[in-house]
Amino acid sequence: MERLHLSPINAISGVIALPGSKSISNRALLLAALAEGTTTLTNLLHSDDINHMLTALDKLGVSYDYDQSNATIEVTGLGGRLSQGQNLELYLGNAGTAMRPLAAALAIGTGEFLLTGEPRMKERPIGHLIDALAPLGAKIDYLEAEGYPPLKIQAQDLNGGTVEIDGSISSQFLTALLMAAPLLTETLTIKMKGELVSKPYIDITLGMMARFGIEVDNQNYQSFTIKAGQQYRSPGRYLVEGDASSASYFLAAAAIGGEIEVRGVGRASLQGDKHFADVLEAMGAKVEWGDDFIRCSKGDLKGVDMDMNAIPDAAMTIATTALFAKGPTTIRNIYNWRVKETDRLSAMATELKKVGAVVEEGEDFIRVEPVMDLRHAEIETYNDHRIAMCFAMLAVGGQEVTILDPGCTAKTFPDFFERLAEVSV
Ligand SMILES: O=C(O)C1=C[C@@H](OP(=O)(O)O)[C@@H](O)[C@H](O)C1
Ligand SMILES: C=C(OP(=O)(O)O)C(=O)O
């Protein structure tokens, strides 16, 4: 297995032009495919998760012209539903932002589809989405374990009506249903049951649907109505914002030891993970905002005790930043860390203990107590890009660390370690 030894980094300094947001790139590709007209997406992320969406769209007969070196793609919209052949197999790796939205959109297309992915994808639940689609008449079978991919989808002409969806495990199920709703022949009302997690991702979805011409009546995140007769329309050009979750590693590194400006995310961003900078500020870092940049510099960090349900991805970076703060840090309401790339609660607790931290792992929280003497460890990454990236904070804090399988950052940030080296002085 490949391994990357990181020596202590003196300081972080410079400017980072962020790669495109994963969440926005995959939504934009699907919406552009469903829209009437041609859409030019700029600053598209190039990573495994996006490649899975691109390959799937290609197999579904969507044509696009991808200029990877300029991070630009021109997508010719279908102006309606996805339709293609019999038993078309789509392999979606471990990309939640491809699996969930495609499952819903394909259930309302024409054809027969088999949606599958990496072994871990087969352990990530999708039952709440399928349970919401079933009352509309969707025909979806589980090919292995009940409630999990792989799925067999026999697309149907679906009407509409009122459905309930459980949002307590993943917001991606509601996102998937919202994005597919304009493909129905009638009005759809979605009623929430269970407490909606990761809520800011719904704002990304609604904001982007609006840019593609769809109005959603949002009743305080309790129910959503998408009126019949609306059609996705291309906005022409669409700039993908920088990835706010990817920004978290650079912002935290600066908070620990240096200064940085991340470009592509700022006050005007659609992404909830921009509020990661507020957490760093609460810990004692200095933060400055522009419309599309955030600057952060070193402060005397102290631990915090916070509900981080709204920023589940960036919150992992807080868990390692906490090693360089005074006093313990508690990250609360993060049960769904357990159903992501790996069981992140258990994995983070295990790896943080290896470097010497005192850690308490609760069912839905983690408490990290820093220690005077950290030690070198080989960090197991469990095929989880964010574990690989957030443990780089050790080196920034002056502690050498070895990251096993650093290539797993390819899910969302293939050249992360090279970019970190560029701003390391
Ligand atoms: O909608 C999205 O783009 C995402 C939603 C979040 O997932 P959950 O809603 O499952 O928490 C987040 O963790 C994931 O990386 C991306
Ligand atoms: C949870 C994540 O990914 P996914 O989109 O596959 O859910 C993530 O990127 O941290």
- Please write the tens of the pLDDT for every residue from 92-132: 999 999 999 999 999 999 999 999 999 999 999 999 999 99
Q: In what order do the strands lie in the sheet with 112-116?
A: 88-91, 112-116, 151-154, 139-142
The CA distance from 138 to 188, in Å, is: 14
Average pLDDT along the chain: 97
For 139, the token pair is: 């025909």
Q: Which of 336, 411, 416 best tests ligand 2's pocket when mutated (most atoms within 8 Å of CB)?
A: 411
Q: Is 3 annotated as a binding residue?
A: no
Active-site amino acid positions: 313
- Host H or E run for residue 305: strand 305-307
Q: Is 198 annotated as a binding residue?
A: yes
Kindly state if the Cβ of 409 falls inside 6 Å of ligand 2.
Answer: no
Q: What is the pLDDT of residue 127?
A: 98
Mean pLDDT of 54-65: 97
The CA distance from 150 to 117, in Å, is: 7
Q: What is the pLDDT of residue 1?
A: 76
Look at the pTM and tell me if it is higher than 0.95: yes
Please tell me the residue having the least CA distance from ligand 2 atom 6.
96
- Please write the tens of the pLDDT for every residue from 231-265: 999 999 999 999 999 999 999 999 999 999 999 99
Here the ipTM equals: 0.99
Of 274, 367, 275, 277, the closest CA to residue 319 belongs to: 367
Q: What is the pLDDT of residue 295?
A: 98
Number of H helices, E strands in the chain: 13, 23
Q: How far apart are the first and last CA of the chain?
A: 28
Q: Which domains does the chain have, with CATH numbers?
A: 3-19+242-423 (3.65.10.10), 22-224 (3.65.10.10)
Q: What is the pLDDT of residue 84?
A: 83
The CA distance from 390 to 393, in Å, is: 6
Between the CA of 329 and the centroid of ligand 1 the distance, in Å, is 23
> DSSP string of 254-296?
HHHHEEEEEES-STT-S-GGGGHHHHHHHHT-EEEE-SSEEEE
For 10, the token pair is: 């003196």
Kindly state if the Cβ of 171 falls inside 6 Å of ligand 1.
Answer: yes
With beta carbons less than 8 A apart as the criterion, state whether 253 and 396 touch.
Answer: yes
Mean pLDDT of 352-379: 97
The CA distance from 396 to 240, in Å, is: 29
Virtual torsion, Cα 398, 314, 409, 26, nearest 10 deg = -160
Residue with tokens 């790139």: 25
Percentage of the chain beyond pLDDT 90 is 98
Percentage of the chain beyond pLDDT 70 is 100
Q: Which of 26, 165, 173, 198 best tests ligand 1's pocket when mutated (most atoms within 8 Å of CB)?
A: 198
Kindly state if the Cβ of 309 falls inside 6 Å of ligand 1.
Answer: no
Kindly state if the Cβ of 97 falls inside 6 Å of ligand 2.
Answer: yes
- Please write the tens of the pLDDT for every residue from 305-362: 999 999 999 999 999 999 999 999 999 999 999 999 999 999 999 999 999 999 999 9
Give the pLDDT band of residue 85 (cuts 50, 70, 90).
confident
The closest ligand to the CA of 174 turns out to be 1
- Host H or E run for residue 253: helix 244-257
With beta carbons less than 8 A apart as the criterion, state whether 389 and 413 touch.
Answer: yes
